[in-house]
Chains A and B, each alone.
Chain A
Amino acid sequence: MSKIEINNVFKIFGPKPSSVLQMVKDGSSKEEILEKTGHTVGLDNVTLKINEGETFVCMGLSGSGKSTLIRHLNRLIDPTDGEILIEGTNVMSLKKEELIDFRRHKMSMVFQRFGLFPHKTVLQNVGYGLEMQGVELEKRNNVSMEKIESVGLTGFENQFPNQLSGGMQQRVGLARALATDTDIMLMDEAFSALDPLIRSDMQKQLLALQSELKKTIVFITHDLDESLKLGDHIGILNAGKLVQVGTPVDIIMNPADDYVEAFVKDVNRAKVIKAKIIMKSINETTNEEKNNLIKIHEDQFIEEFLPQVVCNNANCEVVDKQGNVKGYITNKELQHSLSKS
């Protein structure tokens, strides 16, 4: 069973959303509806499944509805129509107290502009979720200190947020989300406000933490590189519609429509595509092409073996961990996979 299931969710903003719902269902476009009724379509028939322990990245430009989508998961925003199942429970059916309890124990969230409380110290900020749970002070501080250490901020626990740099602030945000030890973590453009170097640092830290903790992470971003780096699966939103869901390679190799294609056009493919994706099977390969071979591992990215190929004008023999030959890569495959269709 999927950890999170979203079924046919619609969200319409405006004074009378339900009156417009039918129009949206009948397939009127976002612009049409805005012009005719003054309502804005936030989400248009979104359905997706997220598996336990994976990082699902939801990508789109601003206004595509990605932040709206993530806020449906903990019901900071209520959908106009549709259902949201988390571990099989319909979130929509929760009563007020149940919802609060659900937010306290099931999910935690990291915010774009960090959302740290300026009047609380780092320690108090990290402990906020636990405070809401009603955990007593001493235990709260111990857990918080542990998490502060895990994001590498030991020594800063009594500083106030405005005394920290942007990257450090977001680590506090991360620690705060980790502190409640929930299964699901929602990250709303968590790294978008950081500058590139610190951002890639934070991405590495997140990957390291994730390989240890195996949480279900829903990550929102408008940056394709980031989504390719972090995501096990990627969903691409455009004007409230989910246009494609797939693995990073799926998205790059088989864009579902022009929109996605335009998106992936400028991606450095060599960084994302692994040898096993583009190799041809042994049967297809002619003997001529088995000349002048270099051995490469099937999980290597093109980027890593490309220099060798160019220097030696060689063909590649792809092997798995045991050293069994799995396939071959010639210049033709390389050319095909690297050219921007």
Chain B
Amino acid sequence: MATRTDLIDKSNQSKNIITYVIIGVVFLVALWLSTQSEGPSKFPKEVTDKFTFTAWVNDGEDYLKKNYRWVTKIIASYIKETYYFLEDFLLESPWILIAAIIVIPCIIAGGLRLGIYSSFVVYFWGATGMWEPSLQTVALMGLSVLLCVFFGFILGVLCSQSNRFENFMKPVLDTMQVMPAFVYLFPALFFFGIGGAPAILATMIYAMPPIIRLTNTGIRQVPAQTIESATSFGSSKLQLLFKIKIPLSLPSIMMGINQVIMMALALVVLACFIGAEGIGGQVWQAIRRLDVGWAMEGGLCILFMAIMFDRFSLAFSKDVERLPSDVQRFYLLPQSWEKYQIAKILEMPLSFGNKILKIICQTVTSAIAIVFRFLVSIFNKSTAENIGEFISKRYYVIPYFLVLFLIAFIDHYFLEIGTFPKEWKLSIRQPITNAVESLTVNPGFISFAKGLRAFVYLNLLRPLDVFLTQIPWWYTLAVFSALGYVTVGIRFAIITAVLLLFIGACGIWTQSMITLSSVLVSVVLCFVIGVPLGIIASYNERFRNIQNVVLDAMQTLPYFCYLIPVLMFFGGGTVSAVLATVIYSIPPIIRLTSLGLTQVSGTYSEVSRSFGGTLIQTLNKVKFPLAIPSLVIGFNQTVIMAFAMQIVTPLIGGKGLGLEVFNGLARSDTGRGLAAGIGIVLLAIIIDRITLAWTKKQREALGLIS
């Protein structure tokens, strides 16, 4: 028997040893090859000279411009006109009207707390002098969200009705979600030129996947029993869809809209690169002038706006779920404070005011309803009843429009309200600049920042850059294909090879390797920092709660905002680019580490404890191995986010493909930018597929999926 177990052990161990030896050999050969090479590895010149992808793209663009520009021009002009109309309306309306348009819905949907917050946001826009750019951003975002929800909803319903259509859309949506936001700006620029219209169209397409997906799943998840009972009453297919399925999937659709809004905001901010106006442009200009205070102000505007829209749309989707009415009662202070007497007393006048307001609104609305009912009943009795009921049910919405009318009326006939009052302005630009300056001249901080930069650059970034760029391209290509073969299969190995050949033939091999190296360094740093934080969070509930709030806020932010603090404290350069990438892409790894560890069933750690396992032993031998699939998903998301970040890091000195994209845009050399953009996407897709396939295998091995 002993010999048997020995044999078994040997076969297991030898398998591991073989794997490690192969990895070691592959690495050593790579190292040897890279030291042999004199400079960065280059693709054969004959190939890159012949494969002039850039020129082809530019020719194609010219051809399209010449022959089909009129089509796109028409579309663009319609969108442009709508946009200008909306922008004019927002910018020329009296500021109180704008404030009312934004704040009152927030109060209706999210209660007093969200109302107060939204008034603060509106005040902040005005106070910092970002009124116009903020409203431009809102206009761009609003239009794209409208279009996106309209088309996305239709596509989602179609998906839910036809399996064939769903199967067609699925890979499309998958690819769309891996693509960095920036990539969408190219085709838009390509077809629609510069300005607001391409920004709106690009945003519409970029933000569409979640609404399609969630409409589809929402409709498909309506319980079979419900459908059966509706059918038994003789509903037709269309009746079933519009009376049962869509109403029941509203919460899911609202979640989709929430995601659409967040994604749209992120891209609209970025759209400054193709000439759209808005806060993004302000921040960009500020960053280029190294005016930290200004950039910070713009960043805060975006941050506050993002949080406001997020909470607002979430509150709305909760409203659809119909919370019990007593949840609303404690709406300024947290519900959990209800047990404190003081909180109750404080809340009393508020809830009293709330009641009075509700009564007023209801009275006004029912008065209007009566008038309408009377007027319509002259022609048709039953429609009059319907209209009356329709109006009197909406006792918040109708007074809202009344208030808006009233404000507009007063502004027009009695007194000019005009733009945001100058006396209320309160710029925080200078204080921020001063504070940052005082910190950055602090010798302690300088040596810290210098040390960090030197460490990351000399020990991580530089060696890896040299290593990756100097390995001959065919070797790297072979290693990636082999990885693809081992994890996914022969087909993916071939695809990997073709994609990498494309990158090489475009003549951007070196830049790709630089991008890969900064992504790798960022991901390693994310791991080193994120995993311990995740472990702590999995053991300490209070820490976890605090962390979740921070991570939530971080994930609402558009990429842009991450550049600002890094720029403030570390200046520009490749290391700053890495640091910004780390900050942006760290949340998933923290979250999924703690999630993976807490999700390990309590039984396992109980078993381990019952056999006398210590805390460390239990973590090390039981919990961690079981959490690996979750960790790999975290790794995967972090990698994708790190790639996405590569496109904005050139703003603060990042190099590689991002810089190529940037230069392409700046010189309106579409071909060059597009090639580099595609390069980033391809690298991201390759790594995404490999890690996902590996997780799937891991999960199957652990029996976590049947």
Instruction: Name the A residues within 8 Å of B622 (CB-CB).
Output: 117
Contact of A123 among B2, B8, B704 (CB under 8 A): B8
A208 in the interface, Cβ–Cβ < 8 Å? no
Instruction: Name the A residues within 8 Å of B703 (CB-CB).
Output: 118, 160-162
Which residues of chain A from 75 to 116 have any CB-CB distance to chain B below 8 Å in the complex? Answer: 76, 100-105, 107-109, 111, 113, 115
Q: Are B613 and A132 in contact (CB under 8 A)?
A: yes
Q: How far is the CA of A83 from the CA of B612 in the complex (A)?
A: 21
Give A137's nearest chain B residue, CB to CB.
B9
Q: Indicate with 1 or 0, residue by residue over B602-640, a CB within 8 angstroms of chain A CB atoms.
A: 011011111111100100011001100000000000000
**How large, as a class, is the contact surface on chain B?**
20 to 34
Separation in Å of the A121 CB from the closest CB of chain B?
8
Instruction: Name the B residues within 8 Å of A157 (CB-CB).
Output: 5, 8
Contact of B611 among A123, A141, A144, A180 (CB under 8 A): A180
Q: Are A103 and B5 in contact (CB under 8 A)?
A: no
B528 in the interface, Cβ–Cβ < 8 Å? no
Q: Are A119 and B612 in contact (CB under 8 A)?
A: no
Q: Are A76 and B609 in contact (CB under 8 A)?
A: yes
B4 in the interface, Cβ–Cβ < 8 Å? yes
Q: Are A141 and B9 in contact (CB under 8 A)?
A: yes
Which residues of chain B from 1 to 31 have any CB-CB distance to chain A below 8 Å in the complex? Answer: 1-2, 4-6, 8-9, 12
A117 with B5, Cβ < 8 A, contacts A76-B609, A100-B612, A101-B612 known: no
Q: Are A145 and B610 in contact (CB under 8 A)?
A: no
Contact of A129 among B1, B4, B611, B626 (CB under 8 A): B611
Instruction: Name the A residues within 8 Å of B8 (CB-CB).
Output: 123, 157-158
A103 with B702, Cβ < 8 A, contacts A115-B606, A141-B9 known: no
Which residues of chain A from 153 to 198 have any CB-CB distance to chain B below 8 Å in the complex? Answer: 157-158, 160-162, 180, 186
Contact of A128 among B2, B6, B608, B701 (CB under 8 A): B608
Contact of B612 among A104, A115, A137, A158 (CB under 8 A): A104
Contact of A118 among B609, B610, B621, B704 (CB under 8 A): B704
Which residues of chain B from 109 to 161 have any CB-CB distance to chain A below 8 Å in the complex? Answer: none
Among B607, B610, B613, B704, find the residue whose CB has the most chain A CB atoms closer than 10 A.
Answer: B610
Instruction: Name the B residues within 8 Å of A52 (CB-CB).
Output: none
Q: Are A132 and B5 in contact (CB under 8 A)?
A: no
Give B621's nearest chain A residue, CB to CB.
A131
A289 in the interface, Cβ–Cβ < 8 Å? no
Instruction: Name the B residues within 8 Å of A76 (CB-CB).
Output: 606, 609-610
Q: How far is the CA of A107 from the CA of B607 in the complex (A)?
A: 12
Q: Are A160 and B701 in contact (CB under 8 A)?
A: yes
Instruction: Name the B residues within 8 Å of A113 (CB-CB).
Output: 603
Q: Is the interface of A mostly helix, strand, loop or mixed?
A: helix
- Interface Cβ pair total, 8 Å cutoff: 84
Q: Indicate with 1 or 0, residue by residue over B682-706, a CB within 8 angstroms of chain A CB atoms.
A: 0000000000000000000111100
Q: Are A149 and B612 in contact (CB under 8 A)?
A: no
Q: How far is the CA of A247 from the CA of B156 in the complex (A)?
A: 67
Q: Are B611 and A104 in contact (CB under 8 A)?
A: yes
Instruction: Name the B residues within 8 Å of A119 (CB-CB).
Output: 625-626, 701-702
A133 in the interface, Cβ–Cβ < 8 Å? yes
Q: How far is the CA of A186 from the CA of B607 in the complex (A)?
A: 12
Q: Are A117 and B604 in contact (CB under 8 A)?
A: yes
Instruction: Name the A residues within 8 Å of B604 (CB-CB).
Output: 115, 117
Q: Are B610 and A74 in contact (CB under 8 A)?
A: yes
A142 in the interface, Cβ–Cβ < 8 Å? yes
Q: Are A115 and B611 in contact (CB under 8 A)?
A: no
Instruction: Name the A residues within 8 Å of B6 (CB-CB).
Output: 138
Instruction: Name the A residues within 8 Å of B609 (CB-CB).
Output: 76, 103
Q: How far is the CA of A76 from the CA of B6 in the complex (A)?
A: 35
Q: How far is the CA of A132 from the CA of B610 in the complex (A)?
A: 10
Instruction: Name the B residues within 8 Å of A104 (CB-CB).
Output: 611-612
Q: Are B607 and A132 in contact (CB under 8 A)?
A: no
Instruction: Name the A residues within 8 Å of B2 (CB-CB).
Output: 138, 141-142, 145
Separation in Å of the A152 CB from the closest CB of chain B?
14
Q: How far is the CA of A157 from the CA of B617 in the complex (A)?
A: 23
Q: Are A133 and B612 in contact (CB under 8 A)?
A: yes
Q: How far is the CA of A186 from the CA of B1 in the complex (A)?
A: 29
Separation in Å of the B624 CB from the closest CB of chain A?
10
A108 with B607, Cβ < 8 A, contacts A118-B702, A142-B5 known: no
Q: How far is the CA of A109 from the CA of B4 in the complex (A)?
A: 28
Q: Are B9 and A109 in contact (CB under 8 A)?
A: no
Q: How far is the CA of A137 from the CA of B622 in the complex (A)?
A: 17
Q: Are A111 and B603 in contact (CB under 8 A)?
A: yes
Contact of B614 among A100, A108, A141 (CB under 8 A): A100
Q: How far is the CA of A102 from the CA of B612 in the complex (A)?
A: 7
Contact of A132 among B603, B617, B702 (CB under 8 A): B617
Among A119, A128, A138, A161, find the residue whose CB has the most chain B CB atoms closer than 10 A.
Answer: A119
Separation in Å of the A67 CB from the closest CB of chain B?
11
Instruction: Name the B residues within 8 Å of A161 (CB-CB).
Output: 703
Q: How far is the CA of A108 from the CA of B702 in the complex (A)?
A: 25
Q: How far is the CA of A145 from the CA of B8 in the complex (A)?
A: 12
Q: Are A145 and B626 in contact (CB under 8 A)?
A: no
Q: Are B607 and A111 in contact (CB under 8 A)?
A: yes
Give B5's nearest chain A residue, CB to CB.
A141
Q: Are B5 and A123 in contact (CB under 8 A)?
A: yes
Separation in Å of the A117 CB from the closest CB of chain B?
6
Q: Are B5 and A115 in contact (CB under 8 A)?
A: no
Among B611, B621, B704, find the residue whose CB has the most chain A CB atoms closer than 10 A.
Answer: B611
Q: Are A118 and B613 in contact (CB under 8 A)?
A: no
Q: How far is the CA of A39 from the CA of B646 in the complex (A)?
A: 54
Separation in Å of the B201 CB from the closest CB of chain A?
49
A103 with B701, Cβ < 8 A, contacts A115-B607, A142-B1 known: no
Among B12, B612, B625, find the residue whose CB has the most chain A CB atoms closer than 10 A.
Answer: B612
Q: How far is the CA of A117 from the CA of B603 in the complex (A)?
A: 10
Instruction: Name the B residues within 8 Å of A101 (CB-CB).
Output: 612
Separation in Å of the A86 CB from the closest CB of chain B?
14
Instruction: Name the A residues within 8 Å of B603 (CB-CB).
Output: 111, 113, 115
Q: Are A128 and B704 in contact (CB under 8 A)?
A: no
Which residues of chain B from 548 to 593 have any CB-CB distance to chain A below 8 Å in the complex? Answer: none
A109 with B607, Cβ < 8 A, contacts A132-B612, A157-B8, A160-B701 known: yes
Instruction: Name the A residues within 8 Å of B617 (CB-CB).
Output: 132
Q: How far is the CA of A281 from the CA of B622 in the complex (A)?
A: 61
Separation in Å of the B612 CB from the closest CB of chain A?
3
Instruction: Name the A residues within 8 Å of B626 (CB-CB).
Output: 117-119
Give B606's nearest chain A residue, CB to CB.
A76
Q: How far is the CA of A105 from the CA of B617 in the complex (A)?
A: 17
Q: How far is the CA of A117 from the CA of B702 in the complex (A)?
A: 9
Separation in Å of the B297 CB from the closest CB of chain A?
46
Separation in Å of the A120 CB from the closest CB of chain B?
8
Separation in Å of the A256 CB from the closest CB of chain B?
32
Instruction: Name the A residues within 8 Å of B701 (CB-CB).
Output: 119, 160
Instruction: Name the B residues within 8 Å of A115 (CB-CB).
Output: 603-604, 606-607
Q: How far is the CA of A109 from the CA of B609 in the complex (A)?
A: 10
Contact of A145 among B1, B606, B607, B613 (CB under 8 A): B1
Instruction: Name the B residues within 8 Å of A144 (CB-CB).
Output: 5
Q: How far is the CA of A117 from the CA of B604 in the complex (A)?
A: 7
Q: Are B704 and A103 in contact (CB under 8 A)?
A: no
Give A102's nearest chain B residue, CB to CB.
B612
* Chain A interface residues toward B at CB < 8 A: 74, 76, 100-105, 107-109, 111, 113, 115, 117-119, 123, 128-129, 131-133, 137-138, 141-142, 144-146, 149, 157-158, 160-162, 180, 186
15 contacts between A and B (CB under 8 A): A76-B609, A100-B613, A100-B614, A103-B609, A108-B610, A109-B611, A118-B702, A119-B626, A132-B608, A138-B6, A141-B5, A142-B5, A144-B5, A149-B1, A157-B5
Q: A119-B626, A145-B4 are in contact. List 12 more A-B contacts (CB 8 A).
A: A74-B610, A76-B606, A111-B607, A113-B603, A115-B606, A118-B703, A132-B617, A137-B9, A138-B6, A144-B5, A157-B5, A157-B8
The 7 closest A-B pairs by CB, nearest first: A162-B703, A104-B612, A103-B612, A115-B607, A141-B5, A109-B610, A129-B611
* Chain B interface residues toward A at CB < 8 A: 1-2, 4-6, 8-9, 12, 603-604, 606-614, 617, 621-622, 625-626, 701-704
